């Protein structure tokens, strides 16, 4: 399953908003430096879906605010 995520780094709170079945907005506290925000997104999505982090794989947009994530 593929989901499309719009990331908003440097947020005051961690929050996930489901727009529809495959589109999400994710706010993370971490800055977009050295992959910190990307790691926080993976962790947040895994916790939101109640799956392990190893099941979340970024297909495209590793250094972008728009990411395509594959859920195994």
Return the residue matching tokens 């990411």. 67
Q: Could you tell me which residues come within 8 angstroms of residue 71 by beta carbon, excluding any fewer than 6 positions away?
A: 1, 2, 3, 49, 51, 55, 56, 57
- Give 6-56 pLDDT, tens digit per residue: 999 999 999 999 999 999 999 999 999 999 999 999 999 999 999 999 999
Give the pLDDT of residue 57: 94
Please say whether the structural domain 2-71 has been given the CATH code 3.30.1200.10: yes
Give the pLDDT of residue 45: 95
Give the pLDDT of residue 59: 95
Give the pLDDT of residue 54: 94
* CA 43 to mean position of chain CA atoms: 8
Q: Across the beta sheet with 2-8, what order do the strands follow? A: 15-18, 23-27, 2-8, 66-71, 56-60
């Amino acid at each position: 399953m593929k989901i499309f995520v719009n990331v908003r780094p440097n947020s005051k709170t961690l929050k996930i908003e489901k727009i529809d079945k495959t589109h999400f907005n994710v706010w993370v506290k971490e800055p977009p430096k050295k992959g910190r925000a990307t790691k926080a997104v993976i962790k947040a999505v895994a916790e939101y879906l109640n799956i392990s982090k190893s099941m979340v794989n970024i297909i495209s947009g590793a250094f972008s605010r728009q990411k395509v994530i594959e859920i195994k």
